[in-house]
């Protein structure tokens, strides 16, 4: 029975912890204390619910319990302060009145969770710390769950979170909504953290698995929460659209032996239509919300072209090439440029694509990037320049770290030689 209660408490925690911690941070002004109080309430639930049964409103129960603990903690702190004052210095003329935390906690403040997200993704923290803190405080994941998701040791994550909270306290980061230009910059950091979590799930950098769908789902949940908190922000909808559309391909992205299956070879019947529908709706929302599409929405729009197409041949490559061009203008990068070259070659022929790729040869950022010679080899082959193509495939094979990919590239190189 206790295991059953444990699962219920876990579920309630996942549903309520962000609201709980953010309200407690608002009244105590201390994110570390807020998390402790919320944890205390959770422990109380684990002790009490097996006997009393799960209350009808478990979220309200946790909040009420945390509220009592908060008031207790305040009184203890005050008592301690008074004793210290008696021992040493003079008693302060005016003892601070006990703030009405109980009443403050009853207030429902819509933006509390948003403030919590902004704090967890604060720029004073390292990226790793932001990711861990966001998953812990906003996502309600346990340290153990975060450690497993990122394949790092549990104490490492625990340390990261402790240090992050200390950094926030030391920097006196206030629990408030950033205003004006600050808001846009801080929102950018939030979007980056969410997309980092998503990408770690989508193309895992650690471990044997190519994808970790649970992390993708967690990032998508955070994105959806954020989209409801900031409905007027086009890029938030853009990021949600991008994640929904990319995640729609997860079922087709892994082959029978766990091998990666890239977009052109995917079985489109396996794409998740529910997520595609949601992605297209979110993209529509991004477009309606304001002005020119930002980088996330542009990438989502590219994904939408693939999602709408029945096959590689049916894809609107002209539109994709134009979207890559817009993306390259908004956030120029050699990788975007390489993708644009592929789209251009599909839309206008291999010669047009090769022209763009040639301009990238020698760019330092792409020096060890195996996709550059791989794409170039492919275009050369289409143009019948077999010897050059073979050299490019061999070069690509020598710079990839993925065994399966290396084998594939060497096969292609051999094919150039065989029929050339």
Q: Do residues 130 and 122 touch, judged by C-beta distance below 8 A?
A: yes
Least distance to another protein from the beta carbon of 16, Å?
9
CA distances for 374 relative to 10, 131, 273, 275, 378, angstroms:
47, 33, 31, 31, 6
Least distance to another protein from the beta carbon of 251, Å?
4
CA distance 196 to 397: 28
Least distance to another protein from the beta carbon of 80, Å?
38
Q: What does the per-residue mask of binding to another protein show for 17-56, with x meaning CB under 8 A?
A: ---------------------------------------x
Least distance to another protein from the beta carbon of 42, Å?
14
CA distance 273 to 271: 6
Looking at residues 179 to 208 of the shown chain, list those that interact with another protein (rule: CB under 8 A). Answer: 207-208
| 3-class DSSP state of 260 | strand
Residue choice 29, 123, 258, 420 for contact with another protein (CB under 8 A): 258
124 vs 153 by CB, closer to another protein: 153
Helix axes 317-330, 295-308, angle to 10 degrees: 170
10 contributes a contact to another protein by CB under 8 A:
yes
Which of 358, 352, 259, 266 has the alpha carbon at shortest distance from 303? 266
279 contributes a contact to another protein by CB under 8 A:
no
Least distance to another protein from the beta carbon of 113, Å?
9
197 vs 381 by CB, closer to another protein: 197
Written as one string, the DSSP assignment of 242-278 is: HHHHHHTTGGGSB-TTS-B--GGGS-GGGS-HHHHHH
148 vs 163 by CB, closer to another protein: 148
CA distance 187 to 237: 12
Tell me how crowded residue 97 is: count the other CB atoms within 10 A of its CB.
6
153 vs 365 by CB, closer to another protein: 153
> H/E/C letters for each residue in 73-109?
HHHHHHHHHHHHHHHCCCCCCCCCCCCCHHHHHHCCC
Q: Which two tokens stand for residue 17?
A: 């912890």
Which of 260, 265, 345, 271 has the alpha carbon at shortest distance from 308? 271
Segment holding 391, helix H or strand E: helix 386-399
37 vs 276 by CB, closer to another protein: 276
* Region near another protein per CB under 8 A, out of 3-11, 37-45, 329-337, 368-376: 3-11
86 contributes a contact to another protein by CB under 8 A:
no
Q: What does the per-residue mask of binding to another protein show for 212-251, with x meaning CB under 8 A?
A: -xx--xx-xxxxxx--xx--------------------xx
Matching residue, tokens 């903690």: 73
Q: Which two tokens stand for residue 83?
A: 């004793």
13 contact partners, CB below 8 Å, separation of at least 6: 42, 140
48 vs 217 by CB, closer to another protein: 217
Least distance to another protein from the beta carbon of 131, Å?
14
Least distance to another protein from the beta carbon of 361, Å?
33
Looking at residues 123 to 142 of the shown chain, list those that interact with another protein (rule: CB under 8 A). Answer: 141
Looking at residues 341 to 370 of the shown chain, list those that interact with another protein (rule: CB under 8 A). Answer: none
Q: Do residues 336 and 305 touch, judged by C-beta distance below 8 A?
A: no
Q: What does the per-residue mask of binding to another protein show for 396-415, with x meaning CB under 8 A?
A: -------x------------
| 3-class DSSP state of 254 | strand
68 contributes a contact to another protein by CB under 8 A:
no
Least distance to another protein from the beta carbon of 152, Å?
14
Least distance to another protein from the beta carbon of 125, Å?
22
143 vs 323 by CB, closer to another protein: 143
56 vs 90 by CB, closer to another protein: 56
In the chain, count H helices and then E strands.
19, 0
225 contact partners, CB below 8 Å, separation of at least 6: 18, 113, 117, 138
145 contributes a contact to another protein by CB under 8 A:
yes
Size of the site for another protein (CB under 8 A): 38
Q: Which two tokens stand for residue 135?
A: 């998953």
CA distance 342 to 70: 58
Residue choice 173, 254, 305, 318 for contact with another protein (CB under 8 A): 254
Binding site for another protein (CB under 8 A): 7-8, 10-12, 14-15, 56-58, 141, 145, 148-149, 207-209, 213-214, 217-218, 220-225, 228-229, 250-251, 254, 257-258, 270, 274, 278, 403
């Amino acid at each position: 029975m206790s295991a059953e209660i444990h699962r219920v408490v876990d579920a309630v925690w996942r549903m309520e912890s962000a609201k709980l911690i953010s309200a407690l941070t608002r009244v105590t002004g201390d994110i570390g204390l807020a998390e402790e109080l919320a944890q205390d309430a959770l422990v109380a639930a684990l002790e009490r619910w097996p006997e009393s049964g799960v209350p009808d409103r478990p979220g309200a129960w946790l909040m009420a319990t945390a509220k009592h603990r908060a008031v207790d903690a305040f009184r203890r702190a005050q008592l301690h302060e008074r004793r210290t004052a008696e021992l040493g210095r003079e008693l302060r003329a005016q003892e601070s009145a006990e703030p009405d935390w109980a009443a403050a906690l009853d207030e429902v403040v819509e933006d509390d969770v948003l403030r919590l997200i902004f704090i967890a993704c604060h720029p004073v923290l390292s990226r790793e710390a932001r990711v861990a803190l966001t998953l812990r405080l906003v996502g309600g994941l346990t340290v153990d769950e975060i450690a497993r998701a990122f394949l790092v040791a549990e104490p490492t994550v625990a340390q990261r979170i402790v240090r992050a909270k200390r950094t926030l306290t030391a920097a006196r980061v206030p629990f408030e909504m950033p205003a004006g230009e600050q808001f846009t910059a801080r929102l950018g950091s939030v979007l980056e953290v969410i997309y980092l979590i998503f990408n770690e799930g989508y193309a895992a950098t650690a471990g044997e698995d190519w994808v970790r769908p649970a992390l993708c789902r967690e990032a998508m949940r955070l994105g959806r929460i954020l989209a409801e908190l900031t409905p007027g922000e086009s890029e938030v909808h853009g990021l949600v659209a991008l994640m929904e559309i990319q995640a729609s391909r997860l079922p087709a992205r892994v082959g029978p032996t766990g091998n990666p299956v890239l977009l052109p070879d995917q079985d489109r019947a396996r794409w998740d239509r529910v997520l595609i529908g949601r992605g297209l709706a979110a993209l529509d929302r991004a477009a309606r919300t304001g002005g020119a599409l930002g980088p996330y929405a542009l990438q989502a729009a590219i994904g939408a072209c693939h999602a709408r197409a029945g096959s590689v041949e049916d894809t609107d490559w002209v539109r994709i090439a134009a979207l890559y061009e817009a993306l390259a203008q908004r956030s120029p990068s050699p990788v975007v440029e390489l993708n644009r070259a592929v789209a251009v070659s599909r839309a206008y022929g291999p010669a047009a694509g090769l022209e763009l790729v040639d301009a990238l040869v020698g760019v330092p950022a792409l020096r060890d990037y195996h996709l550059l010679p791989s794409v170039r080899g492919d275009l050369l082959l289409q143009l019948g320049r077999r010897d050059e193509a073979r050299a490019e495939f061999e070069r690509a094979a020598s710079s990839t770290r993925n065994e399966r990919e290396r084998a594939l590239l060497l096969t292609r190189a051999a094919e150039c030689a065989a029929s050339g």
